[in-house]
Amino acid sequence: MHTQKDHRFYLGRRNFILAMFMYPFLISKLMADNKIGVGSPLFLDEEDGFVILGGWVLLKDDLIQNPD
Partner 1 sequence: MIIDLNSVEKNSAHKHYDVCLCGAGPAGITAARVLSKQGKKVAIFEGGGLEYSELSQDLYQGESVGLQYWDAVHSDRLRYFGGTSNHWSGRCAFFDKVDFEQRNYFGLPGWPITREDVFQFFDAACSVLDISREAFHASQVTKWNGENFRFSESTRSPPTRFGEKYYSELKDSSNIDVYINANLTEINLNKDLDAVTSFEIRNYGNQKFLFSAKNYVIALGSIENARLLLNCDKQVPSGIGNQSGMVGRCFMEHFNVGIGRFVSDDSPIWQQGRIQLNPSENMIRKLQIGNAILDFERSSHPISYGRLKKLKQTMREEVCKSEFLTGLSRNILDFDCPGDGLITSLIEQTPNLNSRVSLGTEKDMFGMRRVKLDWQANAADYKTIRTLGLEVAKEMARSGAARVQLKDFILDDTKDISEIGRHAHQMGTTRMSEDPRFGVVNKNLQIHGFKNIFVAGSSVFPTGGGANPTLTVVMLSERLGHHLAKS
Q: Smallest distance from the beta carbon of 10 to partner 1, in angstroms?
A: 19
User: Applying CB under 8 A, does 52 fall inside the site for partner 1?
Assistant: yes
**Dihedral angle sign, alpha carbons of residues 64, 57, 20, 37:** negative
- How many residues bind to partner 1 according to rule CB under 8 A? 22
Tell me if 48 contacts partner 1 by CB under 8 A.
yes
Rounded to the nearest whole angstrom, what is the least distance from the CB of residue 56 to partner 1 in the complex? Answer: 5
d(CA 50, CA 30): 17
Residue 15 touching partner 1 (CB under 8 A): no
Please enumerate in sequence order all residues whose Cβ is within 8 A of that of 68, keeping only pairs 6 or more positions apart, or say none: none
